[in-house]
Amino acid sequence: MRVAILHFLDNPTKADEAVLENVKEASGKNGNTVTVINALKDASANTLMMHEYIAVVIRPEGILSARVPDAVQRYFRGSGSLSGKKGCALVLKSGLRSGKTCRNLMELLEAQGLLLDYFDVIFDAAHALTAGAMVG
């Protein structure tokens, strides 16, 4: 299966990059072809059309905020129809309301037509290996 790991991380730290790499590695071990896409730098949403599975990775906007970053809504608004594609919502643990942020992200993705089969709040790179095994 062709999997896109679409992340909305402004300035990824080494820990963020380790999480993304572990998710990619664990999903690849299941026989998937995995591509990591920085949605903030690659504005072309057409790249999602060739993938069968879309994993969206975000970080909450603030310590107490449960809002999904506006860039996610803008990106998917211009992406065309993603109806019927499978996907998952992954939120990097940051602040106190990461679980609520994950629920808000799930609602946004389901409104775009994605069929979500997995969601998780990722605490660290080791946890990303477990979460990545469920991607795809």
Span 94-103, pLDDT tens digits: 889 999 999 9
Beta bridge partner(s), residue 67: none
- Residue pair 99/68 in contact (Cβ under 8 Å)? The answer is no
pLDDT at 99: 94
pTM for this predicted structure: 0.93
Band (pLDDT 50/70/90 cuts) for residue 23 is very high
**What domains appear along the chain, each with residue ranges and CATH number?**
2-133 (3.40.50.360)
pLDDT at 36: 94
pLDDT at 9: 94
pLDDT tens readout for residues 41-85: 886 656 788 899 999 999 998 888 889 999 999 888 877 778 889
Question: Per residue in 81-112, is it b (16+ CB within 10 Å) or e — as a string?
Answer: ebeebbbbbbbbbbeebbeebbebbbebbeeb
Tokens of 105: 């992200």
